[in-house]
Every structure is written in C-alpha cells, then in structure tokens.
C-alpha cells in the first residue's frame, strides 16, 4: 500500500523550549486530502497533534496551514496534488497557538475595523421599507467576486507587507472594504475611504500579488486593492 | 495631509522626473541649443573650468533644472518616508522622520535654487 510521509511542525509555546518536526507514515487512500492525512495521524498515531478544522469542504476557512511552503486549506488540498512527502507547518503572519493552530484575533480585528457590513443613512427606511431595492447584473458584478471570501487568512499569511509591517491591514481586510464600497446599497463611501487612507493603509501594498495566487476562492484581493486605490484617488 | 494626496504628489513628481529628466538629457546629449561652441565648451571641458555653467545661462533650461530638482527632491524624500514607515513600526520614529525629511527637503530646495540662480547669473 502506498504511504504518505508527513513532516509536521510541532510546538507548544506553553511547555516546549523550541519547535520540532515530527514524521508520520500515513496509508494513502484515493481522494485523500492533507486534512484527512492529519486526522489519520490524530486518530491513530498521535492524538496530541493540534489542528483546527470544521466543515472539511472548503467553506468555513478554518483549516489553513502551510503545505510544502505554500498557504493552503488542508481540506481542499489533495495529497496527490502536492506529492507523497508533505511538510505541514502553521500559517505565517498569524501568531502560533499550538502545532498547526494559529491565532486569528488580529486578523479579525483588522477585518472588523473595515466595517464589513452595509452602512446606511436611512435607518427608518430600513426598518419600514417603502419600495423594493434592486440591483442590476452590472452592479452585482462590481463586488460579487470579492464577496466569496471565507476569511481563511491564507492571503494574509502570504502577504510580504504584513510580514514586514504587522500594522498593515492585509489583503483580506482591504478586499472586504472594497466589497462594500463597490456595493450600490452602501452609503459609507467617505467613512470607508477614511479608514484605509492612512500612512499604514491602502497605499502600502506593493502589489506582490501573492494574496491572489493563494486564495482558494478566486477572490483576487490584489485586484480589489488596485480598484480601491482608484476609488481613493477619485476621492 | 491625507495619504492619498501625498501619494498623488508622489506619482506626479515621478512623472515630472521622467519629463524634466528627459528634457535635461535631450538638451544636453541630443541637441545643441546654445550653439556649437557652447555645446563643446559645456560637454568637452576644453580648458574651461566652469564650462558646465553655460547651460544655466539659458533661462528656460535653468528653469527646467529647477523643476527637475523640485520633483526629484519630493519623490526621493517621500520614498524615504515610505521606506522608514515600513522599516520602523515605531510611531515616534515615523513622526520624527517626517520632520527631519521635511527640513532636508527645504534645505535641498533652498540650496539648489540658490545654486541655479548664481549659476544663471554668472553662467
Ligand atoms: S481573500 Fe481568499 S485567501 Fe484571503 S481570506 Fe478571503 S478567501 Fe481566504
Ligand atoms: S475545514 Fe472548513 S475550509 Fe477546511
């Protein structure tokens, strides 16, 4: 039977002095994902391994990790796709909790600071609408791609600017801001632009494009950032 | 000043450098706007210690040099500010660097303008 050799990053900051890599041999079965192979390790070989996952189908965005050097969703990555020797490490740019689990507190704080919801100035109308609110296909096209984000944080882990400048909001937060700015139902244009038009904001993106390379949902945050810059220039 | 405006000035100054840099190179290398003799004395330094000053005699060229100085100063110093912002995530360093770079910019412009005016007058 074919086996997969997993090399897994292990570190518990509360008890270990330094990180180490543990190796495991996992029997391969057709259709096996990296998450499946890690769950095999956890169930059969070493139950102390810490991993985070939920949906197992690329929807919840909680199983992000570095697989053979690239940020990926473990449940979305076929073993066959990455090879029989797989190195699994935690996501970069997110503080480590334990083993393959990282802390998303800062990531979500930045996301929330973008006010990722529709801002309306007509509270009364929202409570008691007097008409139907429609959007044309063209209006929907402006933001639909950016609304596919599942907040998995892979783009954030791949962003070299976040590595160098931890205050930088990151691709996910900026793309989510653009998603609402481009929505014709939103009234928060000025407020949103003010949030990112800062010394360490929108303009610090170097357009490396690695965020768009690793996004499993085809969101293309690098494009969103360029479009956001155009909007910021227009004022 | 909002970052948007700073970056707008940065991009415009970059284009300015391209335009006035091209004008500068073009006039110096590809044309002889001040006549054969001046071209030669300027470029070849045939025994003229201050031959390069001849370029400044032409008011238009001297003005284009001033614009080149202005755009280069703005673009370079703002570029430095961005580098410092990214290298040092410490607010006090960033604020201090802004003032230091602004003072440096004023100094460069005053000194450069003075040099161009003097060169124009004695060129
Ligand atoms: S933009 Fe893509 S990579 Fe980034 S958090 Fe959203 S889904 Fe994940
Ligand atoms: S477990 Fe939900 S995206 Fe992987």
pLDDT of residue B33: 46
Q: Where are the alpha helices (DSSP H) in chain A?
A: 34-40, 79-82, 105-113, 123-127, 137-141, 154-158, 160-164, 171-181, 189-196, 210-214, 221-234
Looking at residue A28, its pLDDT comes to: 96
CA distances from A13 to A46, A141, A201 (A): 18, 45, 31
Contact between A61 and A53 (Cβ < 8 Å): no
User: Could you give the count of Cα atoms lying within 13 Å of A192 in the half-sphere of its Cβ?
Assistant: 28
> pLDDT tens for residues A175-189?
999 999 999 999 999
User: What is the token pair recorded at A17?
Assistant: 């002095």
C-alpha A188 to ligand 1 mean position (Å): 23
pLDDT at B3: 93
**Of the residues A52, A58, A77, A149, which should be mutated to test ligand 2's pocket, given the most ligand atoms within 8 Å of the CB?**
A58
Nearest to A165 among B4, B8, B89 (CB): B89
pLDDT tens-digit readout, A96-106: 999 999 999 99
Which fold would CATH assign to domain A3-102?
Ubiquitin-like (UB roll) (3.10.20)
Residue B97 DSSP SS3 = helix
CA distance A227 to A61: 25
Contact indicator for A168, B87 with CB cutoff of 8 Å: no
At a CB cut-off of 8 Å and minimum separation 6, what does A78 contact? A31, A32, A33, A34
pLDDT, one tens digit per residue, over A191-234 is 999 999 999 999 999 999 999 999 999 999 999 999 999 999 99
- How confident is the prediction along chain B (123 residues), in pLDDT tens digits per residue? 889 999 999 999 999 999 999 988 777 665 554 555 555 555 554 454 444 666 677 788 889 999 999 999 999 999 999 999 998 888 899 899 999 999 999 999 999 999 989 888 875
**What is the chain A residue with the closest CA to B81?**
A199
Q: Which atom of ligand 2 is nearest to the CA of A74?
A: 4
DSSP structural state of residue A168: S
* Average pLDDT of every residue of chain A: 96
pLDDT at B50: 45
Atom of ligand 2 nearest to the CA of A53: 1
What pLDDT does A133 receive? 84
Residue A79 has pLDDT above 80, yes or no: yes
- The percentage of residues in chain A with a pLDDT greater than 70, rounded to a whole number, is 100
pLDDT on residue A126: 84
- What's the domain count of chain B? 1
In chain A, residues under CATH classification 3.10.20.30 are 3-102
d(CA A90, CA A25): 20
pLDDT, position A129: 87
Task: Tell me what the mean pLDDT of segment A22-31 comes to.
Answer: 96
Ranges for all domains in chain A classified under CATH 1.10.1060.10 = 105-234
Q: Which among B82, B89, B94 has the least Cβ separation from residue A166?
A: B89
Domain coverage including residue B70? 3-122
Q: Give how far Cα A201 sits from Cα of A150, A220, B3, B74, Å.
A: 22, 18, 9, 21
| For residue A27, pLDDT beyond 80 | yes
| Residue A211 in tokens | 């965020």
Secondary structure (DSSP) of B7-33: HHHHHHHHHHHHHHHHHHHIIIII--T
Q: A105-234, superfamily in CATH?
A: Alpha-helical ferredoxin (1.10.1060.10)
pTM: 0.88
Q: Which two tokens stand for residue A84?
A: 């029989």
Binary contact (A197, B4; C-beta < 8 A):
yes
Give A107 Cα–ligand 2 centroid separation in angstroms: 17
* Mean pLDDT score, A161-179: 96
Q: What is the pLDDT of residue B41?
A: 55
For residues A90 and B51, the model is more confident at A90
Using a CB-CB cut-off of 8 Å, the residues of chain B touching A204 are 82, 85-86
Contacts of B94 in chain A (CB under 8 A): 199
The residue among A124 and A226 whose pLDDT is bigger is: A226
- Asked if A73 and A64 count as a contact pair (C-beta separation under 8 A), the reply is yes
Minimal C-alpha gap between B84 and chain A (Å) = 11
């Amino acid at each position: 039977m074919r086996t997969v050799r997993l090399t897994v990053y292990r570190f518990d900051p509360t008890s270990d002095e330094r990180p180490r890599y543990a190796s495991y041999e996992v029997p391969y079965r057709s259709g096996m994902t990296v998450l499946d192979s890690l769950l095999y390790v956890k169930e059969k070989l070493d139950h102390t391994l810490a991993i985070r996952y939920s949906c197992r189908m690329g929807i919840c965005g909680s199983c992000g990790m570095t697989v053979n050097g690239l940020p990926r969703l473990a449940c979305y990555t076929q073993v066959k796709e990455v090879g029989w020797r797989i190195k699994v490490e935690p996501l970069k740019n997110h503080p480590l909790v334990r083993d393959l689990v990282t802390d998303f507190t800062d990531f979500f704080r930045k996301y929330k600071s973008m006010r990722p919801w529709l801002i309306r100035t007509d509270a009364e109308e929202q409570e008691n609408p007097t008409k139907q609110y429609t959007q044309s296909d063209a209006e929907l096209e402006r933001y639909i791609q950016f609304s596919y984000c599942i907040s998995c944080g892979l783009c954030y882990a791949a962003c070299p600017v976040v590595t160098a400048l931890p205050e930088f909001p990151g691709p996910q937060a900026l793309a989510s801001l653009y998603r609402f700015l481009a929505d014709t139902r939103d009234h928060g244009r000025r407020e949103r632009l003010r949030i990112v038009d800062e010394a360490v904001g929108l303009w610090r993106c170097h357009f490396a494009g690695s965020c768009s390379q690793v996004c499993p949902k085809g969101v293309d945050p690098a494009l969103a950032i360029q479009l956001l810059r155009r909007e910021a220039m227009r004022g | 000043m909002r970052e948007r405006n700073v970056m707008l000035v940065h991009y415009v100054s970059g284009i300015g450098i391209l335009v006035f840099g091209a004008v500068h190179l073009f006039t110096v290398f590809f044309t002889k706007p001040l006549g054969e003799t001046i071209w030669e004395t300027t470029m070849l330094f045939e025994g003229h210690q201050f031959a390069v000053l001849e370029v400044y005699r032409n008011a238009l060229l001297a003005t284009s040099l001033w614009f080149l100085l202005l755009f280069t100063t703005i673009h370079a110093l703002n570029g430095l500010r961005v580098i410092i912002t990214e290298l040092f995530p410490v607010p006090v360093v960033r604020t201090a660097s802004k003032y230091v770079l602004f003072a440096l910019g004023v100094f460069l412009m005053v000194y450069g303008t003075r040099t161009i005016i003097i060169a124009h007058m004695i060129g």
